[in-house]
Amino acid sequence: MDILTVVLLLVAFLLILYELRVQLSTHYRAGKKFPGPRALPLLGNAHNLLFNDQRRTFQLPRGWAATYGDTYRILVRGILNLNAFQAKDVEPLLSSPKLIEKSMIYSLLHRFLGIGLLNSTGSKWQHRRRILTPAFHFNILPSFLLTFQEECRRLVAQIGQYADKGAPVALQPLATKFTLNTICETAMGIKLDSMTMANEYRSKIEAIGTMLLQRLMNPWLFEDFTYKLSGLQGRFEKLLQPVHAFTRSIIQQRRELFHQNVRNIGDFSEENIYTNLKQRYAMLDTLLAAEAKEQIDEDGIREEVDTFTFEGHDTTSAAVIFTLLLLAHSPDVQQRLYEELQEVAQSRTDADDEFNQRDYTELRYMDMVLKESLRLYPPVPFISRNISEDTMFGDRLVPKDTLFNVHIFDLHRDPAVFPDPERFDPDRFLPACVAERSPYAYVPFSAGPRNCIGQRFAILELKTVLAAILTHFRILPVTKREELVFVADLILRTKDPIMITLQYASGRAAIISPIVLAQLCITPFGTTG
């Protein structure tokens, strides 16, 4: 028997041992209690995941959800992956104060965002959550609202140019620019358009997202060794360098201003910071106050600023895009929203032309419209956790170190909860309807201990931009809903641009002329430090 034969037999023997070990493992035995596609020896279900494009990758779990009708399993590298899309299995995960550890998927973000609020767990996550929660307090939101309204004036001016020509508008570039500007000013205290490197910063953020997705879709790139060997790690690091340099520069600038204005306060509470700052409040000020109290260091501040900048603009941009698409196909909903805006405007006692926070709170139908839009098109269609201890889900054991994925896109389309799920119907969120269903059947901002810290911030921003657009324009459809082709990405995204057209709404009191719009487009609003 030659050496090659011996080697091949040894390899075959080791592979058989590996497969026997997998089949005798707790994960394999637990997985038998869940339906799922056939797992092959050695490969598990890796063959189902490999060599798919972005479109196929998005469609795959939709097909499995329809086929199995229950939480289903796949096995990858001997690890049990469970995929839930019904409230009965989502609730025990999201409501648990213990099952808060993000899955290995989020480790791909560590070089970019560090291990901050999004990626951390345990005591570090609890510590960061305590530091950041006051930055989104109800009393702080009015400061952010001023930023939203300024950027809305810029947006209205920009889209007014399309309305003048009757030209179709591609929503993604406009929405992304708007939300990135707002999050940079509210998170870091700077107007991105005032920075000479604004366009470079935007392009780097987009390129980073593309590379992260490329790694996510190719499991052989998960390991740092193979990622480095492929040459992609070097390219990724080059993208990160200017982004992190930009963030550190902004932090340093804001730190100097912060200490100039608050060094004599003594009390670093949000109320005192908000009252005494000579420039507009930013989330970064909360972090700088924590740094002054030695609760966080410079790298920790950068982690959180990068996290909120990245997470806070793309998700809100997606919500803006899909809500405008739905309204373009729903003129009756548009009209009802406009009438509600007029009612609130007429009932105001404040002489100021701009709505205040209380006014936006009164837009209850708009609340329902936004909730229904986020049901149909959740900006984050998928979240993933690591099961940190053996847990019972109903009568089925889910062992430690299982990856548990919540497919929010499918959860929101459960026909048992949302009949005719593809229909856009804001009345689904009438109080009586909401009371009848599980709170875990609708989780666009996640739920439980790790729910989105910025959801009130996001809703206020969405209300502000919708109110600004609907006050001036009617939205007309170009892209049809049935034409949407979704692709796998870090957020919900379509293969092709989503297009609408806009018309000046005759008879609406607050219409701005094209000349004034042009002036608004070039009027400097100043910087906030």
Binding-site residue numbers for heme are: 452
Sequence-distant (6+) residues with CB within 8 A of 211 are: 232, 235, 236, 239
Strands (E), 401-467: 403-407
Residue among 445, 477, 478, 440 nearest 459 (CA): 445
Pairing of strands 403-407, 382-386: antiparallel
Alpha helix positions (H), 45-170: 46-49, 54-68, 87-94, 110-113, 122-132, 141-165
Report d(CA 493, CA 484) in Å as an integer: 9
Pairing of strands 403-407, 79-84: parallel
Q: In what order do the strands lie in the sheet with 79-84?
A: 72-76, 79-84, 403-407, 382-386
Question: 2: left (phi > 0), else alpha (psi -120 to 50), else beta?
Answer: beta
Annotated binding site: 452
The DSSP string of 111-142 is HHH-SSTTT--HHHHHHHHHHHGGGG-TTTHH
> Residue 32, exposed/middle/buried by CB under 10 A (0-12, 13-18, 19+)?
exposed
Chain centroid to Cα 396, Å, comes to 31
Question: Percent helix, strand and coil across the chain, each rounded to 5?
Answer: 60, 10, 30
Pairing of strands 486-487, 396-398: unpaired
Report d(CA 152, CA 469) in Å as an integer: 8
Residue among 104, 283, 315 nearest 209 (CA): 315
Report d(CA 497, CA 485) in Å as an integer: 10
Residue among 278, 452, 267, 307 nearest 374 (CA): 452
Type of residue numbered 64: W
Report d(CA 143, CA 528) in Å as an integer: 12
Residue among 329, 378, 360 nearest 492 (CA): 378
Sequence-distant (6+) residues with CB within 8 A of 474 are: 331, 334, 502, 503, 504, 505
